[in-house]
A and B are shown apart, each in its own frame.
Chain A
Amino acid sequence: MRALALFAAVLLAAFSTGCGDEGAATQRVRLVTTTSTANSGLLTHLLEPFKTETGIEVIVVPVGTGQALALGRRGDADLVLVHAREREDAFVAEGHGIDRRDVMWNDFAIVGPPSDPAGIRGLRRPGDALKKILASDALFISRSDDSGTHIRERALWAATGVDPADNESYWKAGQGMGKCLVMADEKRAYTLADRGTYLAFRDRIELVILMEGDASLRNPYGAILVNPAKHPGVNASAARALLDYMTSPRGQKRIAAFRVDDEVLFQPATRE
């Protein structure tokens, strides 16, 4: 009998906390974002004060930019934080998103084996480097997964006027940044990487940065509210509070203060 009472008590407790989430007790906001922001640890650092002050729970869903926007289109997100400007604009134009704001930027780099078999070290323009890699015997690993990095890589190729698609030494991996870095390291190949993921992998791989700093390698992140008029299920007020915080002077300072191995990964949007 006592066991039964205990069981009932546990059930009741589970139920009441479970239902409590639906009510006003804890607010939840689903932030769908790219793996680069989540895996680097930035979001944990950035969101900590927001959580303690507002009590709003942020559920971070790290996926590729393509999937992030697709989840937004289905109304399965409250706020998206991605990096692919044209797609972001399309997302807003279709009415799925409102109030797009610049949050921060980081940059891409072309990484490759230290021996640099294609000889791209010292070149000025990313396009020249890509052409030289394709002409060499070395492989180039392409993300080929419609991620923000892949979209940028395609734009860089398009600017060269060369289509690498059917080249034997151009491998389309269809995988995330980390896996592509490992693959490039294994095959002594080149790839385009975002700096954050590269820094996170630097200790475990031999690849070095061989091309960086060009304006065409800059990578801005934008945050977009999922339109509550189109997707009534979204938690618009909490999402707006989070967006306001990220773009506020405090949030921007917090982004600027974030370091991995003493290196700055993301520059706040307010800093040019």
Chain B
Amino acid sequence: MIWEGIKEAFHLIASGDRQVLHAVYVSLFCTVIAIVAAGFVAVPYGAWLGLYRPRATRTQAFLLRLGMFVPTVVVGLIVFGLLSRHGLLGGLDLLYTKLAIIIGEFLLAFPIIGSMAYAATADSNPVALESARTLGASRWQAMRTVLNEVRLAIATGFLMAFARCFSELGVAITVGGNLEMRTRTLASTVVLDLSRGRFGTALAPGIILIALAVVITITALSLAREKKR
């Protein structure tokens, strides 16, 4: 069965299967936008917690870490409640769109990236921050100096967020709707193939997913290391 899946994966890629390529596109597109957007907010937030320890830092850090454990379907359900016709944001008509998936994956990525940024900066050498400050750097500039020091940890945070979003199902199915050529991701393709009883074919999108993950992980880590050197 596994061999069948590998053969099918190659066949689907080589033949340029329209549906699978579209699922690759949806998976990558939503995940990349979601983690970049989450990174813009979560990295400064986590670093602010770690470096300047505002009021209730420990509670906030605890909540961030708790956020990493929320099941993806629960996040999907919350976003569904917001975007549903009867929900708060129902008027926007976003349900069953890629943007709906991105919103859900943003919520999945935020706690992971935020936690990593917090942990890395809280653990960093306080001398770096202080010397930057005494050299006349603003809080923001000092934060950037420290973040540059802990680049590898931040990159790992992004990778973990990528892993969680790229392979998740709860959001994609619940608010994406698994619509063919619209919101179907690689992971939700597996579910559908399975429900169709095509066990061999079901493995193919999974194998493509893992192969893409390998490429992305290697690229991201080598980039982070290079900069650090």
Interface residues of A (CB under 8 A from B): 63-64, 66-71, 144-147, 171-176, 179, 183, 185-187
Give chain A residues whose Cβ lies under 8 Å from the Cβ of B194. 67
Tell me the bound Cα distance from A176 to B195 in angstroms. Answer: 9
With an 8 Å Cβ cutoff, the count of chain B residues facing the other chain is 21
A contact residues around B25 at 8 Å (CB): none
A183-B177, A186-B95 known; A174+B192 contact, CB < 8 A? yes
Q: A67–B96 contact, CB under 8 A?
A: no
Question: In the complex where A174-B184, A186-B85, A186-B96 touch, is A64 in contact with B179 (Cβ < 8 A)?
Answer: no
Structural contact, B177 and A70, CB atoms closer than 8 A: no
Contact (Cβ within 8 A) B178 A67:
no
- Residue pair A145, B195 in contact (C-beta under 8 Å): yes
Count the A-B residue pairs with Cβ separation under 8 angstroms: how many? 64
Is the Cβ of A67 less than 8 Å from the Cβ of B95?
A: no
Chain B positions 159-184 with a Cβ under 8 Å from a chain A Cβ: 173, 177-182, 184
Indicate if the CB atoms of B197 and A68 lie closer than 8 Å.
yes
In the complex, residue of chain A having the shortest beta-carbon distance to the beta carbon of B173: A175
Please tell me if the beta carbons of B196 and A171 are within 8 angstroms of each other in the complex.
no
Whether A183 touches B184, Cβ cut-off 8 Å, given contacts A173-B177, A174-B179, is: no
Q: How far is the CB of A86 from chain B (nearest CB, A)?
A: 15
Q: Is the interface of A mostly helix, strand, loop or mixed?
A: mixed
* Nearest CB in chain B: distance from A176 CB, A: 8
Does B121 lie at the interface of the complex (its beta carbon under 8 Å from any beta carbon of A)?
A: no
- A232 to B: closest C-beta gap in Å: 20
Does residue B199 face the partner (Cβ distance < 8 Å to A)?
yes
For the complex, would chain B's binding face be called helix, strand, loop or mixed by DSSP majority?
loop
Residue of B nearest to A165 (CB): B180
Instruction: Report how far A176 CA is from B188 CA in the complex, Å.
Output: 13
Known: A145-B192, A183-B96, A187-B96. A171 touches B197 (CB 8 A): no
Q: How far is the CA of A108 from the CA of B224 in the complex (A)?
A: 57
Distance in Å: Cβ of A183 to nearest Cβ of chain B: 6
How far, in whole Å, are A201 and B43 apart by their CA atoms in the complex? Answer: 43
Which residues in chain B, 135-166, are within 8 Å of chain A measured between CB atoms? none
Q: Counting CB contacts under 8 A, is B84 at the interface?
A: yes
Q: Is B11 located at the chain interface by the 8 A CB criterion?
A: no
A103 to chain B, nearest CB (A): 21
Provide a sorted-by-A list of 21 A–B residue pairs whose CB atoms are within 8 angstroms: A63-B195, A64-B196, A64-B197, A66-B198, A70-B197, A71-B197, A145-B192, A145-B196, A146-B196, A171-B179, A171-B180, A173-B178, A174-B184, A174-B188, A174-B195, A175-B178, A176-B195, A183-B96, A186-B95, A186-B96, A187-B96
**Contacting residues, chain A, for B198 (C-beta < 8 A):** 66, 70
Smallest CB–CB gap between B205 and chain A, Å? 12
Bound complex: CA of A145 vs CA of B184, how far in Å? Answer: 13
Give every chain A residue within 8 A of B177 (Cβ-Cβ): 171, 173, 175, 179, 183
Chain B residues with CB under 8 A of A71: 197
How long is the Cα–Cα vector from A145 to B177 in the complex, in angstroms? 13
